[in-house]
Amino acid sequence: MTAIAYRPELPADAPLIAALIDRAFGPGRHAKAADRLREGNTLIPDLSFTAWDGETLVGSVRLWPVAIGGAPVVFLGPIAVEAELRKHRIGQTLVEMACEAAAAAGWRAVLLVGDAPYFGRVGFDAAPAKAVHMPGPVDQRRVLLKALREGGADGLAGLVTAG
């Protein structure tokens, strides 16, 4: 592995990212509630990052505009790292870069559906998301929020909608 390079997602990256996500999650992946927030939505390219080992795409994280009870936040996902290159903090770096870029762009909080033990390492927590309702069945313990500024996750409640 050479040094990993990180950069925002470009339109031309889309096919490589789709293939990486398919490999990472396997066939039959249907995170229904999260998919509903991505269908018909447009990812934010400046806040979506890719990781490269030379010319090879090895990681991707995507951020989408959503609203919680009408309050705009960004929704993170999917995140995927090529299996052979896991446990080198590529995933954590992608999440941190995306969160920093979102904070710099003025977003108040990041929402995701994922494993708390993993995302807790980078500041995500289920507690502030207790009143956040995903648009579909989901284990509420996996609905996580991270504030991007003091109090950024306070008072967020209601249905999550795309856009």
The binding site for ligand COA (CB under 6 A) comprises: 24-25, 79-81, 86-92, 114-115, 117-118
Residue number, 66 or 79, with CB nearest to ligand COA: 79
CB of 141 to ligand COA, least distance (A): 12
CB of 8 to ligand COA, least distance (A): 18
Q: For residue 65, which of 79, 76, 52 has the smallest C-alpha distance?
A: 76
Residue number, 86 or 133, with CB nearest to ligand COA: 86
CB of 50 to ligand COA, least distance (A): 13
Residues in the chain: 163
Residue number, 91 or 128, with CB nearest to ligand COA: 91
Q: How many Å apart are CA 63 and CA 49, to the nearest integer?
A: 9
Cβ–Cβ < 8 Å for 144, 127: no
Q: How many Å apart are CA 25 and CA 5, to the nearest integer?
A: 23
CB of 89 to ligand COA, least distance (A): 4
Q: Could you tell me how far CA 114 lies from the centroid of its own chain?
A: 9
